[in-house]
Amino acid sequence: DVKVTQSSRYLVKRTGEKVFLECVQDMDHENMFWYRQDPGLGLRLIYFSYDVKMKEKGDIPEGYSVSREKKERFSLILESASTNQTSMYLCASRRSYEQYFGPGTRLTVT
Amino acid sequence: SQQGEEDPQALSIQEGENATMNCSYKTSINNLQWYRQNSGRGLVHLILIRSNEREKHSGRLRVTLDTSKKSSSLLITASRAADTASYFCATDPYDYKLSFGAGTTVTVRA
């Protein structure tokens, strides 16, 4: 069974902290994605990776970076968290055309 | 960038009734997909329809696609309480990066 896991379901961080969100998939998928989801805005693509060490900016990459050192793991990094980064963060991996999502991390920055 | 727009934003129906939601998009697509999200969780892929298809069925789901009008609809027949969720359309514009709409929230009343 396909599985995408995210390191935390809920996270509370302070403004200015460095935040790491981890995502792991067990399906040997090459493509992985990070989205943020905000009410009324749907899902917006932050970054995606089409292979190990390969990454491409999505629609809203400002304030974020990513790391993909191993095929199964895709990390999202908030270098200096700000309150406007309070959101639900969703990771996904892709097989063929459909994407498989993790359960999400609800991040609150205070 | 966000491309799909769902309509209505919210829908409340009685158990056993059908639920219909629509999606409009702006540019050419390779395929269109529908996802479901239960409260506060990750998205689950429901169905994919290719640009050369007009209608597709999967269990109680029926999806139509009209590329001339750049629109799609999702019909859930004989709704159940477990169908209470948010539903998102996602367009794939040939580059594997899905563009999601803001979603339709469906509430099925017992």
Task: Give the pLDDT band of residue A95 (cuts 50, 70, 90).
Answer: confident
> Would you say residue B1 has pLDDT above 70?
no
Q: What's the pLDDT at A40?
A: 85
Q: What's the pLDDT at B19?
A: 97
Question: Looking at beta carbons, which residues of chain B come within 8 Å of A1?
Answer: none
CATH superfamily assigned to domain A4-97: Immunoglobulins (2.60.40.10)
Give the pLDDT confidence of A66-82 residue by residue, as tens digits. Answer: 999 999 999 999 999 99
Domains and CATH numbers, chain B: 5-109 (2.60.40.10)
The Cα B88–Cα B34 span in angstroms is 6
> Would you say residue B38 has pLDDT above 60?
yes
Residue B68, Cβ density class (10 Å: 0-12 exposed, 13-18 middle, ≥19 buried): exposed
Query: How much of chain B, in percent, has pLDDT values that exceed 90?
Result: 80
Q: What's the pLDDT at B2?
A: 53
> Would an 8 Å CB–CB cutoff place A41 in contact with chain B?
yes
Q: What's the pLDDT at A92?
A: 96
Q: Across all residues in chain A, what is the average pLDDT?
A: 94
Q: What's the pLDDT at B68?
A: 95
Give the pLDDT confidence of B50-70 residue by residue, as tens digits. Answer: 999 999 999 999 999 999 999
Which of B47, B31, B44 shows the shortest CA–CA distance to B95? Answer: B31
Q: Are the Cβ atoms of B96 and A94 closer than 8 angstroms?
A: yes
Give the pLDDT confidence of A26-62 residue by residue, as tens digits. Answer: 999 999 999 999 988 889 999 999 999 899 999 999 9
> Would an 8 Å CB–CB cutoff place A10 in contact with chain B?
no
Query: How much of chain A, in percent, has pLDDT values that exceed 90?
Result: 89
Q: What's the pLDDT at B41?
A: 85
Question: Looking at beta carbons, which residues of chain B come within 8 Å of A98?
Answer: 33, 45, 48
> Would an 8 Å CB–CB cutoff place B42 in contact with chain A?
yes
Q: Are A72 and A81 in contact (CB under 8 A)?
A: no
The Cα A26–Cα A109 span in angstroms is 30
Q: Across all residues in chain B, what is the average pLDDT?
A: 93
Q: Nearest residue on chain A to B86, judged by CA atoms?
A: A42
Long-range contacts from B96-100, C-beta under 8 angstroms, 24+ separation: B96/A31, B96/A94, B96/A97, B97/A33, B97/A45, B97/A48, B97/A58, B98/A45, B98/A99, B98/B33, B99/A45, B99/B1, B99/B2, B99/B3, B99/B4, B99/B25, B100/A35, B100/A42, B100/A43, B100/A44, B100/B2, B100/B4, B100/B35
C-alpha distance from residue B82 to each of A49, B76, B86 (Å): 34, 12, 12
Q: Per-domain residue ranges for chain A?
A: 4-97
